[in-house]
Amino acid sequence: MSRIPRNSVAVIGGGGNVGAAIAFSLIAKSVPAEVLIVDVAEKAAKGQALDISDASFMMPGTCRQATFQEAGQSDVIIITAGARQQPGEPRSNLIDRNYKIIKSIMDSLKPIKSTAKILVVSNPVDVLTDIAQKVSGLPREQVIGSGTYLDSGRLRNALSNITGVSPTSIHAYMLGEHGDNQFTGWSSARIGGHPLLEHPKMHDIELDSIYTGIQRKAYEIIDAKGSTYYGIGICAATIAEALLNNTSQVFPVTNYIEKYGCYMSWPAAIGSDGVEQSFDVKLNDEEAKKLETAVHAIREACEKYE
Ligand code: 6V0
């Protein structure tokens, strides 16, 4: 009898660094899913699938190379294909190159299973999620992006180092856009139900330096080793797990916010139907202005590709 799990997660672009890190994280996190690696670079896809399958012998998940058609019938389809940033290059620069790739991938996946959830990771993620939703024809709540989950994790790590509280007990988000227009939601940040900025260890902290550190981190990693993948690997695998297991966890993912009329990085509860609910985040005047800038940038980019 085969031990192939019932649920499947396809990773498109799985021959590359980010896709492989996500596939490996799914296996290492004990997600009971069949992980399908798909890439136009078939040899790279084969290599990653064989390597990751070696890690699966003691885990409930399995991993193999697959076709676009098989991926279209998966429960969760993760898109990591595309160009990545060069040292010093902003994420927004990737749009022209990655727009064509996303469009051709969506066409190759068709027919897409009507209950599938698509998780876009390729950059610029907020704009590409909008494009993926339009081209796939799936409902908006079934198409999301990894948004500012990774950036928010970096924020929580930084705040943990200052306050001495576990990052998992700090509720604080990077918001708006996964890119140069993201901002920190300081006024909504909480530790133990208390406003974060009232924590005694936060009183003498230069908030801008925390923000700058988070913004700079991806550039720093890319400059040092060419690309970032472990952090996003675990983030995307955790979102996929929420989609498969119907956990209703809240993540700052790219989701469609009716109030602002666009996809953006904003907290939402994620379950097996995709986005279950999004939340109204308390903002001060300065944060509201930054949100306006992020929304404007995302909407302008999306309109160009309609
Ligand atoms: P990579 O290692 O070059 O891998 C990209 C892969 O995509 C390669 O294996 C390509 O062969 C493959 N590919 C290209 N075109 C297609 C296609 N049409 N169909 C299938 N596969 C294709 O890049 P890396 O993995 O480092 O980055 C991938 C994407 O992730 C980039 O857009 C990054 O900017 C983005 N990231 C997003 C992050 C986030 O937080 N959202 C974080 C890190 C990187």
| Residue 72: CA count within 13 A, CB half-sphere | 15
Could you tell me the pTM of the whole model?
0.97
- Give the integer Cα–Cα distance in Å for 133 and 295: 18
**Interface predicted TM-score (ipTM):** 0.99
CATH of domain 7-145: 3.40.50.720
3-state secondary structure the chain: CCCCCCEEEEEECCCCHHHHHHHHHHHHCCCCEEEEEECCCHHHHHHHHHHHHHCCCCCCCEEEECCHHHHHCCCEEEECCCCCCCCCCCHHHHHHHHHHHHHHHHHHHCCCCCCCEEEECCCCHHHHHHHHHHHHCCCHHHEEECCCHHHHHHHHHHHHHHHCCCHHHEECCEEECCCCCCEECHHHCEECCEEHHHCHHHCCCCHHHHHHHHHHHHHHHHHHHCCCCHHHHHHHHHHHHHHHHCCCEEEEEEEEEHHHCEEEEEEEEEECCEEEEECCCCCCHHHHHHHHHHHHHHHHHHHHCC
Among 37, 98, 121, which is best to mutate for testing ligand 1, by the most ligand atoms less than 8 A from CB? 121
β-bridge pairing 33-38 and 62-65? parallel
Kindly give the distance from the C-alpha atom of residue 250 to the centroid of ligand 1, in angstroms, as a whole number: 25
Q: What is the pLDDT of residues 255-289, one digit of tens each?
A: 999 999 999 999 999 999 999 999 999 999 999 99
Q: Are 207 and 162 in contact (CB under 8 A)?
A: no
Tell whether ligand 1 has an atom less than 6 A from the beta carbon of residue 106: no
Q: Closest Cα partner for 9 from 144, 159, 116?
A: 116
Which active-site residues does the annotation give? Answer: 178
User: What's residue 305's pLDDT?
Assistant: 81
Work out the percent of the chain whose per-residue pLDDT is above 70.
100
Kindly give the distance from the C-alpha atom of residue 172 to the centroid of ligand 1, in angstroms, as a whole number: 28
Q: What is the pLDDT of residues 161-186, one digit of tens each?
A: 999 999 999 999 999 999 999 999 99
**Same topology between domain 7-145 and domain 149-305:** no
Class level of CATH domain 149-305: alpha beta
Tell whether ligand 1 has an atom less than 6 A from the beta carbon of residue 84: yes
Average pLDDT rounded to a whole number, residues 62-89 = 94
User: What's residue 1's pLDDT?
Assistant: 57
Confidence of residue 91 (pLDDT cuts 50, 70, 90): confident
Average pLDDT rounded to a whole number, residues 63-72 = 98
Kindly give the distance from the C-alpha atom of residue 84 to the centroid of ligand 1, in angstroms, as a whole number: 6
Tell whether ligand 1 has an atom less than 6 A from the beta carbon of residue 14: no
Name the residue ranges covered by the structural domains of the chain: 7-145, 149-305
Please identify which residue in the block is written with the tokens 């930084």.
Answer: 158
The protein residue with its alpha carbon nearest to ligand 1, atom 34, reads: 84
Tell whether ligand 1 has an atom less than 6 A from the beta carbon of residue 275: no
Q: What is the pLDDT of residues 1-48, one digit of tens each?
A: 577 888 999 999 999 999 999 999 999 999 999 999 999 999 999 999
Q: Kindly state the tokens that stand for 232.
A: 């996003």
